[in-house]
Amino acid sequence: MKYYSTKGTVEPVNFQEAIFRGLPADNGLFMPEKIPVLPSSFFDELSKMSLPEIGFEVLRHFVDSEIPDETLKELVADTLSFDIPLTRINDSVYALELFHGPTMAFKDVGARFLARCLSYFTQKKSNQLTVLVATSGDTGSAVANGFFNVDGIEVVILYPSGKVSGFQEQQMTTLGGNITALEVDGTFDDCQALVKQAFLDDELREAKQLTSANSINIARLLPQSIYYFYAWAQLPDEAKNEAIFSVPSGNYGNLSAGLIAQKMGLPIKHFLACSNTNDTVPLYLWNGNFEPKPSVSTISNAMDVGNPSNFFRMLDLFDGSYQQMIKHISGYAYTDDSTRDAIQKTYALYGYILDPHGAVGYLGLMDYFRSEQGTGILLETAHPVKFKQTVEDQILRDVPVPAHVEKTSLEKKSIPFNANFTDFRSFLIDKQ
């Protein structure tokens, strides 16, 4: 399998080179040259397969023997060592709970797979790899956990100061070791711009072997398609052809992964791209104009992205056609007040606790079902405890911290930083 740039001006590369580079030299995004359509026999057996078995069958086509099958099976099983249950909220809505991993966010899946792939490939290399990641919340904690103490790999996480939850900040800043957290005076978009500039700096790339752990890295994104298959397999048989996936969206990697699953043959009826007031993509879906803008802070902070990178992967999957895209995706955007109201009402009516991101996905389904029918699956991308105060203010009860992640006394070790690329460049070159 070769991977090309969405800008199409550089030569395609193999899987290993794509994940080590992170970004193509032309500042596009890597995409697989071919998305395989899985055979009907795979779908016939899907409900009988385990999550790791599904993961291996999906990913082996994209790795294409660069990792031997038996080794890939081990990597996938180690990545997917927790369940991703589909939980019924009401007669027409289910929540796909993506928060049962070590950092309680959907990004555990992609970050853990990427870490294990890079670890496998770096065993054959003598020089150290530096992983750069910009985060608006959950990516940082998932990457920190996934790469902690991995030999031969240093991780530098950039996050916007004061714009992530306390729980998220604790998870990404307290490990130390090979994990360095930079607390940037700016927005997520500033953090993402620094990372992208670093990859386009030839001298810096020569001095430090850089790769990315954001969803701009294709090995972060591809494993996210696995849980769309797993969710579909858990639906009642009569609902399988009516599946509507509602995806709370920030940088749109999660939605891009769902579109890849659909192109592999998964019969998804429709997607909902649901955002907070950072509504760049919903506006595009409404009027055909993609107009990035500065991000604004919200209570669903992992979606606080004003210039989402993966929009261009979405566009690429539809050959640049706006008309084709809107046949498959509807866009919705919601305020913080609406989000709080959804958390409150869903708990009052059904006893289910949504986090602020899942609440945005729930709102999208409610709006979609005003004119269309189907079975809704909202992606619950993070555990409500990561937004403890916001959620508890709405449901008027305590949200307990799961025992496997309860670490409250660790010292914060972040480094205050500015959004100046020259300073960031110097920091990376000087870092041993």
130-167, pLDDT tens digit by residue?
989 998 777 888 888 888 888 888 999 999 999 888 88
Confidence grade of residue 372 (pLDDT, cut at 50, 70, 90):
very high
pLDDT value at residue 405: 65
45-66, pLDDT tens digit by residue?
999 999 999 999 999 999 998 9
pLDDT value at residue 37: 97
226-281, pLDDT tens digit by residue?
999 999 999 999 999 999 999 999 999 999 999 999 999 999 999 999 999 999 99
pLDDT value at residue 406: 56
pLDDT value at residue 432: 62
Q: Is the pLDDT of residue 184 over 60?
A: yes
Confidence grade of residue 119 (pLDDT, cut at 50, 70, 90):
confident
pLDDT value at residue 365: 98
**Whole-number average pLDDT of the chain:** 93
The residue whose two tokens read 């449901």 is: 395
pLDDT value at residue 179: 92
Q: How many C-beta atoms lie closer than 10 Å to residue 389's C-beta?
A: 11
Q: Identify the CATH assignment for 85-104+221-401 out of 3.40.1440.10, 3.40.50.1100, 3.30.565.10, 3.40.50.720.
A: 3.40.50.1100
Global pTM reads: 0.89
Q: Is the pLDDT of residue 128 over 90?
A: no
pLDDT value at residue 205: 80
Q: Which residue has the higher pLDDT, 196 or 432?
A: 196
Domain-by-domain residue ranges, the chain?
Answer: 85-104+221-401
pLDDT value at residue 383: 94
Q: Is the pLDDT of residue 431 over 90?
A: no
Q: Is the pLDDT of residue 190 over 80?
A: yes
Q: Is the pLDDT of residue 211 over 90?
A: no
Question: What mean pLDDT comes out for the span 183-208?
Answer: 89
